[in-house]
A and B are shown apart, each in its own frame.
Chain A
Amino acid sequence: MAVTRRHAAVVAAAGLLAACLPSRAAEPDGRPLAIRGETVYTMTGPPITDGVVLIVDGKITSVGSALDIPLPPAARVLTGRVVTPGLIDAHTVVGLSGFLNQEQDQDQLDKGEPLQPELRAIDSYNPRERLIEWLRDFGITTIHTGHAPGGLVSGQTMVVKTVGQTVEEATILPVAMVAATLGEDSRPGDDRKSPGTRSKAVAMLRTEFVKTQDYLRKQDLADPEKRPDRDLRRETFADVLRGKLPLLVTVNRATDIDAALRIAAEFDIRLVLDSAAEAYLIADRIKAAGVPVIVHPSMRRGGMGETENISFETAAALRAKGIPVALQSGFEGYVPKTRVALFEAAIAAANGLTTEQALATITSDAATILGVADRVGSLRPGLDGDVAIFDGDPFEYTTHCIGVVIDGRVVGDEAH
């Protein structure tokens, strides 16, 4: 019952906690941190039995068997049954979409225009948002967050750590992708500017890329007078055309997935598919295109409409085809205000993925898809000291996350 009392206290003291969120630095006293687990999932090879992760100055310096790695005498030691890399939520809106769900804390979607790639996630992200702490307590140390599905192109996304007093302190990648939506959700309002049909949505997107090709061509003109004025929309789309930024396309029906693949092929765009409820219907085509998929939350509600054919087994089906797969908390418009990527990966682990495969969807494979695998997502020397510690199988409902470490600093040490 200690958990219960502590939990209640945490809830009651939420306001206080918000004022003292951990910042990013090594342990205050500069001591090395050693994390020892009965099983250590490094995600670079088979799990290590009785393993140790050593972190010095915020970075991992060694990983291996406890028999092989001498612990510095001054090291602070944390232990748990299972140790994993800090977990990654491969797509969320937390930090832009606040937990109160009131107008003043919902900045994930501007419905004024259908095409707004210039909207930066860093200008809306609230690092003190309560749900960031909520996710962190379940071992989530990195999130890919930003503008929500719902506009044809709703804005940019970014990758941040779940700590920091300011967005600058939290940020790994200030611009990660450009978020687009195809299908029914590409028209958020009754405005006349948004596409009214699927074909219109595709035509509008293609038009933008054709115009951007033109913009890029004119930028290279010898006569500076003939070069175009700076244009934030064009600049962002230009980064997509140049391959600097992937286009993250939220789609569910096979028809719309196919349309996204068609656009990507036409303009040689780096595509990342998001949600993709019916991806299992055209997995071969997705595989052939070499496109990764950030699959919808496993527990996303289906019901009628575009997600009526949703399946618990989609992540497993795509993985079996060799398609890179990550999992996410997605967007929730009501209760609960966010899902938890750990829980979503758990359901995938109960529906076709092995424990290690399911872990990869929220660690190493997620990091690779997001382009941050040189920083986070696995336990190997040189990477950030981000670790999650559990008192059992990380995915079991009744297991607790008992420790969270970010950049070598313990940011959570209570059972959740």
Chain B
Amino acid sequence: MLAHASCRHAPIGFLIVSLLLGCGVPAGAQEKPVAFVGAEVVPVSGPPISPGVVVVARGKIIAVGPVASTEIPADAERIDCTAKVVMPGLVDTHSHVGDGWAGDGSGPIQPDVRVLDSINVRDAGFRKARAGGLTTLNIMPGSGHLLSGQTIYAKLRDASTIDDFFIRDGDGRPLGGMKMANGTNSQKDPPFPGTRSKSAALVRQKFLKAQDYRRKVKDSKDDPAKSPDRDLEMEGLLDVLDGRVVVHHHCHRADDIMTVLRLRDEFGFKVVLHHVSEAWKVADQLARAGAACSVIVVDSPGGKIEAMDLSLATGAVLEKAGVPCAIHTDDPITDSRLFLRTAGLAVRAGMSRDKALEALTLAGAKMLVLDDRIGSLDVGKDADLIVLSGDPLGLRTKVLQTWVEGRKVFDRDDPEDRLYAVGGYGAGREQKAHACCTDERFSETK
């Protein structure tokens, strides 16, 4: 798919050569500090500062505070943000942008399969996501499996290959979660489950096998002669059992939500509950269980029986009950460019503004266990921020600029960026392949 897509724009040879030369790889973080001056700064982790300033350097935030008392380095590039709003880049805990697929039709549980191996970083959806102010996505495989594979946490840097999106741990491994689902989406003909009980039984059996594998690994005491053969499925599940990887679990009905928590308690994995159409029915139970929820906000209920009791007020009910609550796009179910809107609808139905803005940023960052790096405007965090023309929840507010790690990745004043922001002829096509030495040739042959 990737190669085919590239061919559409240019002979594949040019592309390969340019990649080998490294031309397509984005440069590192910005050289000079950048100061966003005069905005209403919404750090999310604290009260708004107005007029405020945010200074970023070498990809990190180095200062946040009132204009009057915040030092701006002499060599900083100043961006006048008077009458504008600056807030953290939005964090989407559940996205399908990039045409990524993981598990196939061979079975219901596929922990060895990685979505990162199939994502097209040139998909127009990434341009649109940047236009919506999104800077970090949890890109997930679908919900048609009990376990459809490994997700990837992606920073929306300018990208030539998926590696450019990676957020890496201390060992250099790209970070991601594990996608699971219950309810009706994952029920079909064998070897897939036909009932909810069968769904739970299949998952439990697999986790028991993984526990057994873990025991054998432990008993071998790192002796190669005694350790079990490597098994990618088991290794994927060990990451989950050992708490290194968070399960992102699709669920709608209240009983399905409680089933996820039952399995969590049996096997001790970390989980974020996604969509949770009926979470408002079991909000107190969710609070007692210490569950975290990532909510989808759509314009009407229904579309499938599980979503018949979906409510715009889910975020409000969860907030009142004290349940941590993020909001996600589930793009293409909702459009990444309208992510701020979904928080507006949650407020319409009773959620507080502060919690709604947190649900787009810091709450999601915590659910991805990335809150030490992203989700709020605090010194030391990644310089991921957006410049808005006004109230983040205002209908007529526009995302003017999106910055990832101190580099501007979207500018509404740029005609090409604007095309992706509002749509129009060509907005659905893949981005042009960016390669330094051959861009002109590409545009000639286009």
Partners in one complex: yes
Chain A residues within 8 Å of B, Cβ to Cβ: 1, 3-4, 7-8, 11-12, 14, 98-102, 130-131, 134, 278, 280-281, 299, 301-304, 307-313, 332-340, 343, 346-347, 349-351, 393, 395-400
Decide if A397 touches B349 in the complex (CB within 8 Å): no
Stretch at the interface among B13-21, B200-208, B332-340: B332-340
Decide if A7 touches B428 in the complex (CB within 8 Å): no
Decide if B303 touches A301 in the complex (CB within 8 Å): no
User: How far apart sit A399 and B348, CA to CA, in the bound complex (Å)?
Assistant: 6
Given A1-B316, A308-B428, A398-B393, does the pair A134, B301 have CB atoms closer than 8 Å? yes
User: How far apart sit A347 and B342, CA to CA, in the bound complex (Å)?
Assistant: 13
User: How far apart sit A102 and B184, CA to CA, in the bound complex (Å)?
Assistant: 13
Can you list 15 A-B pairs with a CB-CB distance of less than 8 A? A1-B320, A1-B350, A3-B349, A8-B317, A99-B303, A100-B308, A131-B302, A302-B423, A302-B428, A310-B427, A336-B301, A339-B300, A397-B394, A398-B344, A400-B348
User: How far apart sit A73 and B261, CA to CA, in the bound complex (Å)?
Assistant: 60
- List residues 273-314 of chain B with CB under 8 A from any CB of chain A: 280, 298-305, 307-313
**Contact partners of B280 in chain A: CB under 8 A:** 8, 11
| Residue of chain A at shortest CB distance from B317 | A4
Q: Which 7 A-B pairs have the closest CB atoms?
A: A308-B428, A397-B344, A99-B302, A311-B423, A335-B303, A337-B302, A4-B350
Decide if A281 touches B428 in the complex (CB within 8 Å): no
User: How far apart sit A302 and B303, CA to CA, in the bound complex (Å)?
Assistant: 19
- Give, as a whole number of angstroms, the nearest-CB distance from A296 to chain B: 11
| Residue of chain A at shortest CB distance from B283 | A8
Report if B429 contacts A (CB, 8 A).
yes
**Contact partners of B311 in chain A: CB under 8 A:** 7-8, 11
**Contact partners of A131 in chain B: CB under 8 A:** 300, 302
16 new A-B contacts, CB < 8 A, other than A8-B313, A278-B425, are: A11-B280, A11-B309, A14-B309, A99-B300, A99-B303, A102-B305, A131-B300, A301-B335, A303-B428, A309-B424, A309-B425, A310-B423, A335-B307, A336-B299, A337-B300, A397-B395
| Residue of chain A at shortest CB distance from B275 | A335
Partner of B316 from A4, A310, A351, A396 at Cβ < 8 Å: A4
Partner of A343 from B299, B335, B427 at Cβ < 8 Å: B299
**Contact partners of B304 in chain A: CB under 8 A:** 100-101, 334-335
**Contact partners of A101 in chain B: CB under 8 A:** 302-305
- Give, as a whole number of angstroms, the nearest-CB distance from B355 to chain A: 12
**Contact partners of B332 in chain A: CB under 8 A:** 301, 303
User: How far apart sit A272 and B439, CA to CA, in the bound complex (Å)?
Assistant: 43
**Contact partners of A299 in chain B: CB under 8 A:** 335, 338
User: How far apart sit A309 and B311, CA to CA, in the bound complex (Å)?
Assistant: 32
Count CB-based A-B contacts (< 8 Å).
141
Decide if A337 touches B301 in the complex (CB within 8 Å): yes
Report if B194 contacts A (CB, 8 A).
no
Given A301-B335, A338-B299, does the pair A7, B349 have CB atoms closer than 8 Å? yes
Decide if B301 touches A311 in the complex (CB within 8 Å): no
Decide if A3 touches B299 in the complex (CB within 8 Å): no
Decide if A340 touches B347 in the complex (CB within 8 Å): no
Partner of B428 from A11, A309, A339, A349 at Cβ < 8 Å: A309
Partner of B300 from A134, A280, A397, A400 at Cβ < 8 Å: A134
User: How far apart sit A99 and B309, CA to CA, in the bound complex (Å)?
Assistant: 11
Decide if B305 touches A100 in the complex (CB within 8 Å): yes
**Contact partners of A281 in chain B: CB under 8 A:** 425
User: How far apart sit A301 and B423, CA to CA, in the bound complex (Å)?
Assistant: 11
User: How far apart sit A313 and B337, CA to CA, in the bound complex (Å)?
Assistant: 14
- Give, as a whole number of angstroms, the nearest-CB distance from A173 to chain B: 25
User: How far apart sit A399 and B396, CA to CA, in the bound complex (Å)?
Assistant: 13
Chain B residues within 8 Å of A, Cβ to Cβ: 280, 298-305, 307-313, 316-317, 320, 332-333, 335, 338, 341, 344-345, 347-350, 393-396, 422-429
**Contact partners of B423 in chain A: CB under 8 A:** 302, 309-313
- Give, as a whole number of angstroms, the nearest-CB distance from A345 to chain B: 11
User: How far apart sit A299 and B310, CA to CA, in the bound complex (Å)?
Assistant: 20
User: How far apart sit A23 and B281, CA to CA, in the bound complex (Å)?
Assistant: 31
User: How far apart sit A374 and B158, CA to CA, in the bound complex (Å)?
Assistant: 55
Decide if A304 touches B333 in the complex (CB within 8 Å): no
**Contact partners of B349 in chain A: CB under 8 A:** 3-4, 7
**Contact partners of B424 in chain A: CB under 8 A:** 280, 309, 311, 313
Decide if A100 touches B395 in the complex (CB within 8 Å): no
Decide if B302 touches A397 in the complex (CB within 8 Å): no
**Contact partners of A393 in chain B: CB under 8 A:** 395
Decide if A130 touches B395 in the complex (CB within 8 Å): no
User: How far apart sit A335 and B332, CA to CA, in the bound complex (Å)?
Assistant: 10
**Contact partners of A302 in chain B: CB under 8 A:** 423, 427-428
- Give, as a whole number of angstroms, the nearest-CB distance from B412 to chain A: 12
**Contact partners of A349 in chain B: CB under 8 A:** 395-396
- Give, as a whole number of angstroms, the nearest-CB distance from A282 to chain B: 12
User: How far apart sit A222 and B49, CA to CA, in the bound complex (Å)?
Assistant: 86
Decide if B393 touches A397 in the complex (CB within 8 Å): yes
**Contact partners of B300 in chain A: CB under 8 A:** 99, 131, 134, 336-340
Decide if A99 touches B308 in the complex (CB within 8 Å): yes
| Residue of chain B at shortest CB distance from A304 | B428
| Residue of chain B at shortest CB distance from A307 | B428
Given A8-B280, A99-B302, A102-B305, does the pair A396, B312 have CB atoms closer than 8 Å? no
- Give, as a whole number of angstroms, the nearest-CB distance from A128 to chain B: 14
- Give, as a whole number of angstroms, the nearest-CB distance from B233 to chain A: 31
**Contact partners of B393 in chain A: CB under 8 A:** 397-398
User: How far apart sit A400 and B348, CA to CA, in the bound complex (Å)?
Assistant: 7
User: How far apart sit A332 and B307, CA to CA, in the bound complex (Å)?
Assistant: 14
| Residue of chain B at shortest CB distance from A97 | B302
**Contact partners of A313 in chain B: CB under 8 A:** 422-424
Decide if B302 touches A336 in the complex (CB within 8 Å): yes
User: How far apart sit A365 and B107, CA to CA, in the bound complex (Å)?
Assistant: 53
**Contact partners of A395 in chain B: CB under 8 A:** 395
User: How far apart sit A308 and B424, CA to CA, in the bound complex (Å)?
Assistant: 8
Decide if A350 touches B395 in the complex (CB within 8 Å): yes
- Give, as a whole number of angstroms, the nearest-CB distance from B73 to chain A: 37
| Residue of chain B at shortest CB distance from A278 | B425
**Contact partners of B317 in chain A: CB under 8 A:** 4, 8
User: How far apart sit A3 and B320, CA to CA, in the bound complex (Å)?
Assistant: 12
| Residue of chain A at shortest CB distance from B344 | A397
Partner of B422 from A99, A134, A301, A311 at Cβ < 8 Å: A311
**Contact partners of B307 in chain A: CB under 8 A:** 335
Interface hub of A14, A99, A350, A397 (most chain B Cβ within 10 A): A397
- Give, as a whole number of angstroms, the nearest-CB distance from A15 to chain B: 11
Decide if A4 touches B313 in the complex (CB within 8 Å): yes
**Contact partners of A337 in chain B: CB under 8 A:** 300-303
| Residue of chain A at shortest CB distance from B425 | A309
- Give, as a whole number of angstroms, the nearest-CB distance from B322 to chain A: 13
Decide if A397 touches B350 in the complex (CB within 8 Å): no
- Give, as a whole number of angstroms, the nearest-CB distance from B315 to chain A: 9
